[in-house]
Amino acid sequence: MKTAGKISISHTLVQKLGIVVEPLITVRVGALMVKSRLQVHDTGRGNYMLSPELIQALHLKKSKGLKVRYQAEEKILHLGPTIGIMATYIPSPNRYEIDPRSLHAELIYLSIVSKSFPGQVYVFTPSGINWANNTCRGYVYHQFSATRGKWESALYPIPDVVYDRIHSRSAEARNSVKYAKIRLMQMPYLNYFNPHYLNKWNVHQIMAANPRLTEYLPDTRELTQDNLEEMLRKYHTLFIKPSNGSLGKGIIKVSSHRGQFNYVIYRNRRLRGQARSAAELMNKTKKFRGDRHYIVQQGLELIKYRGASFDLRIIYQKNGRGEWQISKKFCRIAPRGSSISNLSSGGRVEKSLKVLQHAFENSNLIETKNEQIRLLCKMVAGTLETDNNSTFGELGMDIGIDRNGRLYLIEVNSKPRKTTETVFSPAIVRSTFKRPLAYASYLAGFKIK
Ligand SMILES: Nc1ncnc2c1ncn2[C@@H]1O[C@H](COP(=O)(O)OP(=O)(O)O)[C@@H](O)[C@H]1O
Ligand SMILES: [Mg+2]
């Protein structure tokens, strides 16, 4: 370990943290550790000061606004948190060139809100990591005006916590990304959250193993001709969905009509067709499905809002105490004639209270539903985490309500989009971006309100 510079810590702080006073102390920022001369001063305040050499050795960009904790067992003084947001590339700096609903807009917004945060927060890509010296090229957004700004790059320590914002399954499957992820996860003090996309079949099996969740799950099988045949006998409508799909793409909806099966394929345009048997249906959709894994699911008779299907989207996040909470809840309403409410497939957002009032009228009933929704989210997140061995800091839950008022879990997303342009107040939007950072601080061992 490198030895550099000097750190001067007040007597008060030494006592508060229980620091063992020796000539040298190990100071850690993210994955960087440096031994430094320790001096105790007597100003009576709970502060500390680093010499310029130490600041440089730790690649600190700011010497104020960092929190401090002591890892007593290892006698390490930890300054931080250092939070790295992993992406696959750094977007264009000019916001007017960017779709406000894109991931790029999210990254810029995240970087802006992170400034009011204790510690150091930066965006990085796998190629920016220097494994040889535990540093990483990080980017922070500097805003000049509402639409213009620039990314400033600097060398930081590999972070305490990685918030994975890899934006697609194909990016996630790249070797460079897989390699970086595995190596980061193996680092001794590093925490990594939202590590991967979820697979619908996988999630269904995990949820189905929890008896308390059975009543919330639509009947779901792997797509095979036999399963399809059985499901066609049991249900009037079916949803056939790619296990690794998202954005409503690749879904096939089937409805029975007088012994005939009408289907709609949701791709850029909707394609319609007919079949007389499961075998024919399999055959006719084969080319479209390709070699993707599919599930077949009971079609829910969802309640409607002004004639249109809708579902609830819940942004479920962990806070600075590591506890789950609902950050945002809204309804996504399918476009006319469509059964799919994804915003990217033409769905629109409406406040949930407005839609639920329309559906239930009675305010006690709405409160009961909301309570049930909270409980369902909690069970789903808990079940996912105990089974998965992965850490999640945010989830997007798609919940449907059927005509009998029953709740169903349609899908769980591990990388929910959090657009900066919504019907919600700016304060709510800001808090949904800040909360994962608060959770990251918690994972790093620092408490943040
Ligand atoms: N079993 C179902 N019954 C009724 N509607 C469904 C069903 N499954 C999906 N949908 C509709 O299709 C949308 C997309 O399905 P989802 O499973 O969330 O896949 P994606 O990953 O593409 O978002 C849902 O938000 C809902 O509007
Ligand atoms: Mg969905």
CATH classification at residue 93: 3.40.50.20
pLDDT band per the 50, 70, 90 thresholds, residue 153: very high
Residues 169 and 46 in one domain: no
pLDDT band per the 50, 70, 90 thresholds, residue 251: very high
Q: How many CB atoms lie within 10 A of CB 283?
A: 12
Residues 316 and 399 in one domain: yes
Mean pLDDT of 250-255: 95
Q: Report pLDDT digits (tens) over 37-86.
A: 999 998 767 789 999 999 999 999 876 789 999 999 999 999 999 999 99
Q: Which CATH number do you get for residue 388?
A: 3.30.470.20
Q: Report pLDDT digits (tens) over 192-215.
A: 999 999 999 999 999 999 999 999
Q: Which CATH number do you get for residue 267?
A: 3.30.1490
Count of structural domains within the chain: 4
Residue with CA closest to ligand 1 atom 18: 411
Q: Report pLDDT digits (tens) over 304-319.
A: 999 899 999 999 999 9
Q: Report pLDDT digits (tens) over 326-367.
A: 999 999 999 888 888 888 777 888 888 989 888 888 889 899
> Dihedrals φ, ψ of 155, to 5°?
-95, 125
Residue with CA closest to ligand 1 atom 13: 340
> Which token pair is 133?
């010296």
Residues 163 and 118 in one domain: yes
Q: What is the pLDDT of residue 45?
A: 75
Q: How far apart are CA 163 and CA 438, in angstroms?
A: 11
Q: What is the pLDDT of residue 449?
A: 67
Domain boundary, last residue among 124, 158, 193: 193
Q: Report pLDDT digits (tens) over 263-309.
A: 999 988 889 999 999 999 999 999 999 999 999 999 999 999 998 99
Residues 112 and 165 in one domain: yes
Q: How far apart are CA 28 and CA 77, in angstroms?
A: 6
Residue with CA closest to ligand 1 atom 26: 340
Contacts of 222 (CB under 8 A, 6+ apart): 201, 293, 294, 295, 296
Domain boundary, last residue among 35, 60, 79: 79
Instruction: Give the end-to-end CA distance of the chain in Å, rounded to a whole number.
Output: 34
In a domain, residue 426? The reply is: no
Residues with C-beta less than 6 Å from any ligand 1 atom? 218, 239, 241, 245-248, 297-300, 302, 309, 311, 334, 339-342, 398, 400, 410-411
Cβ proximity of 232 and 223 under 8 Å: no
Q: What is the pLDDT of residue 362?
A: 86
Mutation to probe ligand 1, out of 398, 403, 412 (largest number of atoms < 8 A from CB): 398
In a domain, residue 21? The reply is: yes
Print burial letters for 173-208: b (CB count within 10 Å at least 16), e (below 16).
eeeebeebbeebeebebbbbbbbbbbbbbebbebbe
Q: Report pLDDT digits (tens) over 415-443.
A: 988 776 666 788 888 899 999 999 999 99
Mutation to probe ligand 1, out of 221, 331, 332, 342 (largest number of atoms < 8 A from CB): 342
In a domain, residue 251? The reply is: yes
In a domain, residue 427? The reply is: no
In a domain, residue 435? The reply is: no
Atom number, ligand 1, closest to the C-alpha of residue 334: 27
Q: In this structure, which ligand is nearest to the CA of 239?
A: 1
Mutation to probe ligand 1, out of 169, 311, 380, 410 (largest number of atoms < 8 A from CB): 410
Residues 179 and 113 in one domain: yes
User: Which residue range forms the structural domain that includes residue 251?
Assistant: 219-298
Residues 170 and 257 in one domain: no
Cβ proximity of 177 and 126 under 8 Å: yes
